Structure 1
Amino acid sequence: MWKDYFQGISKDCIFSTPATKDEIDKVESLLNVSLPQEFKEIIFETNGVKESGLGLIWPLERIINENKHYRDGVLEEYYMPFGNLVFFADSGIGDLFAFPVAQDGVCRDDVFVWNHINDSRMWVAPSVTTYAEWWLNGNLEI
């Protein structure tokens, strides 16, 4: 279903091997969050989507590594804390796409972009599928 959705937007989409429920649970446990249901369904079928070499949706291993890197405190001197975001994709120019995390650890469906130059966090889409569609169609500018 989700592969068809992404292929309908761009025939250049490449998918990773589907993730298991245990792998998704591991990410949620390590990051202390509950990922959006739609996102989990996509990862369960694709475990990442690339388009033209860009990580439209990262595989779970990269999600873990990137989020651990940004949450480790080393960048605290330069940026606001990242614990209220779960990064899942990159723009190719240094900015990262993320789900906002509520105080109870539940990720909202909304997608924000973090600007690596000025540390702003801006809403860009109401869901991961809308983000993907707008990004691939050129309707999302950051």
Structure 2
Amino acid sequence: MWRELIARLYKGAKFAAPASDEEIDQVERRLGQPVPDALRRLLHEADGVRDEYGSGLVWSTQEIIEQNAEFRASSDFAALYMSFDQLMFMADNGGGDLFAYVRVPAGRPDDVFVWDHETDERKCVAQSLRDYLERRAGDDGGDGWYH
């Protein structure tokens, strides 16, 4: 389902091989947060998807682990930004802004948020992973859809 949707929305999309249950479970163990169901299903079909320009439409399990761990552990980031502990970054725009799920018990489990790297603003931009992919595709790769 996810591969077909993404291939239809993004003509130049590049898909990685599917992720295993163990790789997805490792994300949960390393970050201490559950992987949202829709993201889990997408990762089962492709362990990461890049657009035609190389931006991460959806990161691989390893990228999710590495990027989130780096943001959470950086003392430089801690001095500049609010905590990243409640976020699970899973994609980028290629220019510094990142897309994430908010992973808190009373949070909005399916909503996708954008983190603006210049202002530290975090705002909801889509109500689901599908909504995020469709909105992002509708802007021809620009940033206007979430600003």
The equivalent residue for 1:61 is 62
Could you tell me whether the CA contact under 8 Å between 2:15 and 2:49 is conserved in 1? yes
The equivalent residue for 2:146 is 141
Could you tell me whether the CA contact under 8 Å between 1:125 and 1:131 is conserved in 2? yes
- Partner-residue secondary structure (3-state), 1:61: helix
Cα shift readout 1:77-106 (whole Å, capped 9, x = no counterpart): 1000000000001111111000001148x8
Consecutive unaligned residues of structure 1, counting only runs of 5 or more, are none
How many residues in Structure 1 have an aligned counterpart in Structure 2? 141
Cα shift readout 1:94-130 (whole Å, capped 9, x = no counterpart): 11000001148x8711000001111110110001111
- Partner-residue secondary structure (3-state), 2:81: coil
**TM-score in terms of structure 2 length:** 0.90
Could you tell me whether the CA contact under 8 Å between 1:84 and 1:101 is conserved in 2? yes
**TM-score in terms of structure 1 length:** 0.93
Give the drift of 1:141.
3.0
1 CA distance for matches of 2:108 and 2:20?
A: 20
1 CA distance for matches of 2:20 and 2:48?
A: 13
1 CA distance for matches of 2:34 and 2:63?
A: 17
| 1:49-128 to 2 correspondences below 5 Å | 49-52=49-52, 53-74=54-75, 75-103=77-105, 108-128=109-129
RMSD: 1.6
1 CA distance for matches of 2:10 and 2:105?
A: 36
The equivalent residue for 1:14 is 14
- Partner-residue secondary structure (3-state), 1:140: helix
Consecutive unaligned residues of structure 2, counting only runs of 5 or more, are none
The equivalent residue for 2:36 is 36
Could you tell me whether the CA contact under 8 Å between 2:14 and 2:50 is conserved in 1? yes
Judged with a 3 Å threshold, the aligned counterparts in structure 2 of structure 1 residues 117 and 123 are, in CA distance, closer, same or farther, namely same
Judged with a 3 Å threshold, the aligned counterparts in structure 2 of structure 1 residues 41 and 33 are, in CA distance, closer, same or farther, namely same
- Partner-residue secondary structure (3-state), 2:88: strand
2 CA distance for matches of 1:77 and 1:83?
A: 14
Moved over 4 A (4+): none
2 CA distance for matches of 1:61 and 1:11?
A: 25
